[in-house]
Amino acid sequence: MAARLGRFLAAMAVLAASSLPPSSGGAAAGPPAQRVPAALLMFPYVEAGAGRDTRIELVNLSGVPIELECFFVNGEDPACNEVGFVLALTPYQPFAWLASEGMSNVINGTAAPPFWGFGELKCAVVPPEPALELYNTVQGRATVFGLDGTTVSYTAYGFQRFVGGEYTGLLRLDGNEYAQCPDRLLFTVLADTPAGNSELILLPCSQDLVLQSPATVTAQLLLTTELGQTVSTSFQVRCYSRRLLRDVADVLQRSIGGSDVVQISVRGVGGPLIGLVIDGIPFGSTFGLAGNEPMFLGGRTATISVPRSR
């Protein structure tokens, strides 16, 4: 199995490299660079309640104080209602809190309300001055954990800013102002089992949180098994989609597709998507969980509009 899996992953890497679309001519056309200081962070999965909680971690990598405007969007609310708040980070400050508890600091005015249910969190840097070097200053990570011992940990998706200027609450992910959203997401996932609980989480990159106008995007999926079988499927993503893999397509079940791993290529029609897979990992007679971050392919323009907190 190990040799077969290695050959499959190598083939998928070649496919991913060969399928990159040509540059669209933007200043930084293409997918956002990851694990670099960023001006916008997206956490696609935050959950609190029903025996689960999320530890959210941020760090200011710069030597100046910065503010973050953050918005938690409830994935269970079809209206995409959000809760906004402001965080103040001192120079080089690491910062963390539990979603279920929130936090408050009366000295610098930093406060995060408690969240319940599940959804996504985004945080944008509001620099003390409009200089470009004061924008790309943060990194983040989230760890969702349960009373049953399962843990899902992943790095927040970071979008760099490319030009200075005033922060207005209108974030243009166009490759000129901010990095573009990925055109496609490429996951290599463990095939699910009847006892497993692997999930696919998707949400539109573009959001209008000012007018509370939810975006609806059609997710097109191409599934490829180790045996070379390909299946396509699609479904609508309005605001936030969270689905068990076995409900997405039969081929994602090990007993039906006959494959230990499956490649999932995701592309949005009507706008780009961002997302995460939660892999169900078998450990003997039990199952654990693991965050499975996608490879980003190509770039597409998106716009995020958020209300100003101050």
With CA atoms as reference, report the closest residue to 181 among 294, 51, 68: 294
Query: Which pTM does this prediction carry?
Result: 0.88
Provide the pLDDT confidence category of residue 194 given band limits of 50, 70 and 90.
low
With CA atoms as reference, report the closest residue to 56 among 108, 107, 119: 119
With CA atoms as reference, report the closest residue to 175 among 20, 262, 58, 300: 300
Determine contact, residues 232/218, Cβ cutoff 8 Å: no
Burial of 24 (0-12, 13-18, 19+ CB in 10 A): middle
Whether 196 has a pLDDT exceeding 50, the answer reads yes
Q: pLDDT digit string (tens) for 15-51?
A: 444 344 433 344 567 888 888 999 999 999 999 998 9
d(CA 307, CA 122): 13
- Which tokens sit at 195? 């006892």
- Confidence (pLDDT) at 15: 42
d(CA 27, CA 277): 30
d(CA 69, CA 310): 9
- Which tokens sit at 162? 């490319």
Q: pLDDT digit string (tens) for 251-295?
A: 898 888 888 899 999 999 999 999 999 998 887 777 789 999 999
The DSSP output letter for 180 is P
Q: pLDDT digit string (tens) for 209-220?
A: 988 888 899 999
HSE on the CB side for 254, CA within 13 Å?
Answer: 15
Whether 201 has a pLDDT exceeding 90, the answer reads yes
